[in-house]
Amino acid sequence: MSEKIFDEMWGREDALRAPYAGFQGWFQDEDPKRLRAKQREAEEVFRLTGITFNVYGRAEAEERLIPFDIIPRIISGREWLKLSRGIEQRVRAINAFLHDIYNRQEIIKAGRVPKEMIARNDAFLPHMIGMTPPGGIYTHIVGIDLVRTDDDQFYVLEDNARTPSGVSYMLENRETMLQMFPELFARNRVQAVQDYPANLRRSLAASAPAACAGPPTVAVLTPGIYNSAYFEHAFLADKMGVELVEGHDLRVVDGRVAMRTTQGYKAIDVLYRRVDDDFLDPLNFNPDSALGIPGIMDVYRAGGITIANAPGTGIADDKAIYSYMPEIVEFYTGEKAILENVPTWRCNDPDSLAYVLDHLEDLVVKEVHGSGGYGMLIGPTATKKDLADFRRKLRARPGNYIAQPTLSLSTVPIFTKAGLAPRHVDLRPFVLCSPEGINITPGGLTRVALKKGSLVVNSSQGGGTKDTWVLED
């Protein structure tokens, strides 16, 4: 008989866990009809606010509402303390790794990461060789995806060091819950997340380049309204009180990147870009890009602007490099990793590939550069055709894939017509890095698989979100 899945509200033995005690007392006194009305009200709030995302990869792109569940996911202050220590350790190691890889490459010389893992990696950016960003910060905003399997066992599922998204949903989820259930917050001491935009602006301003004279000018660069995360770009620019710009709003003027204003062009000190490396500068990267700014990399290398996150950070969240993160953390911090990786098979290794091919129906297989739940196989739920297709892909391009065991992800309750029902979740905490230090927002974005038994939490694959509480113990 298989072991029962760990539930964050009820544990394994159907005994209410302490973090949920205050919530459960409130929930038992609530009228289910009122809660169903509140669930509908929340959906209407999201619709009116315009909190949508675009779905790509279909015959036509479509805009969807991200489902929101009114039952919070609750983490104790003690649990969060351990998590935040592990997250900070990992983010420091990622930043040190990026500096090393683009400069002295000591980790390669020490034999801890194979040279070919860097040299043959599409995410490695030769333009960054010998470059140290202002303040030595490469990853100004990081999202670390975590999964839980037991009372005290969390794993890092992946690192997001390029342009991590989802923080607007974390903020809107909290705002919606505060509006609808103020009495619930009065009964539970929940750590605040609403200061994230102010912290983001402060952190970005602290990373200004040497060329900055006076208070730093910060702007958010978006690919435009057709991007899947455009809502978030506009949301964050508005909350920070900075300009939202597109590539055609910017040009290089007197060695600085400047934005068009009614008073002429104004120099930007820090550009929070939500445009991929390849499209950032048509003079240095993809010449067909209409999204970037011609010459921005030359200004950047000369110290005339801070780009957050730094170009080339993708080498640190590549899924093949992920498998070396325990070694990377130990190499740069001198400590064992506090947060464990999910065990990972690198399919470019012949022995690992043989194992993966023999056990495909039990494993999760991911593209090294994939995201959003696309290009992924979940063996236990795959059809025979899916398995056969992936065997062909693995044999053709083994270096393009990694494989992991199918973890028994923890569940948390969602609100259904029949009452509370368990669903699998992950968690993306958001981390801000600047020369002044590291700031971790308590909680993060909880993504939930709304289909019974599903392990896929991505919104693009039918998942939803819920408010994440970290209690003040």
Q: Give CA–CA dist 37/120, Å, rounded.
A: 54
Q: Residue 53 pLDDT more than 60?
A: no
Percent over 90 (pLDDT), the chain: 80
pLDDT of residue 373: 57
399 located within any domain:
yes
Q: pLDDT tens for residues 229-283?
A: 899 999 999 999 999 999 999 999 999 999 999 999 999 999 999 999 999 999 9
What is the span of the domain harbouring residue 393? 343-406
Q: Residue 62 pLDDT more than 80?
A: no
pLDDT of residue 120: 85
Show Cβ contacts of residue 291 under 8 Å, excluding neighbours closer than 6 positions: 223, 224, 246, 247, 275, 279, 280
pLDDT of residue 196: 98
32 located within any domain:
no
Mean pLDDT for 335-352 is 94
Tell me the C-alpha to C-alpha distance, in Å, between residue 429 and each of 47, 116, 193, 196, 473. Answer: 25, 31, 11, 12, 19
Q: Give CA–CA dist 90/84, Å, rounded.
A: 10
384 located within any domain:
yes
Q: pLDDT tens for residues 296-326?
A: 999 999 999 999 999 999 999 888 899 999 9
State the sign of the Cα–Cα–Cα–Cα dihedral 430, 432, 433, 438: negative
Q: Residue 171 pLDDT more than 80?
A: yes
Q: Give CA–CA dist 293/382, Å, rounded.
A: 43
First to last CA, the chain: 37
94 and 139 Cβ atoms separated by less than 8 Å: yes
359 located within any domain:
yes
Mean pLDDT for 9-33 is 95
Q: Give CA–CA dist 230/239, Å, rounded.
A: 14
Where residue 47 falls among pLDDT bands split at 50, 70, 90?
Answer: confident
pLDDT of residue 55: 47
pLDDT of residue 60: 43
Q: Residue 105 pLDDT more than 60?
A: yes
Q: What is the mean pLDDT of the chain?
A: 92
How is residue 193 written in tokens? 């997340």
365 located within any domain:
yes
For the chain, what is the domain count? 1
The pTM for the full model equals 0.92
260 located within any domain:
no
Element (H, E) at 255: none
369 located within any domain:
yes
312 and 277 Cβ atoms separated by less than 8 Å: yes
381 located within any domain:
yes
DSSP symbol at 197: H
Tell me, what CATH number does 400's domain have?
3.30.1490.270
pLDDT of residue 374: 62
Where residue 106 falls among pLDDT bands split at 50, 70, 90?
Answer: very high
391 and 354 Cβ atoms separated by less than 8 Å: no
Where residue 20 falls among pLDDT bands split at 50, 70, 90?
Answer: very high
Where residue 58 falls among pLDDT bands split at 50, 70, 90?
Answer: very low
Nearest Cα residue to 371 out of 318, 450, 320, 306: 318
pLDDT of residue 17: 97
Q: Residue 65 pLDDT more than 80?
A: no
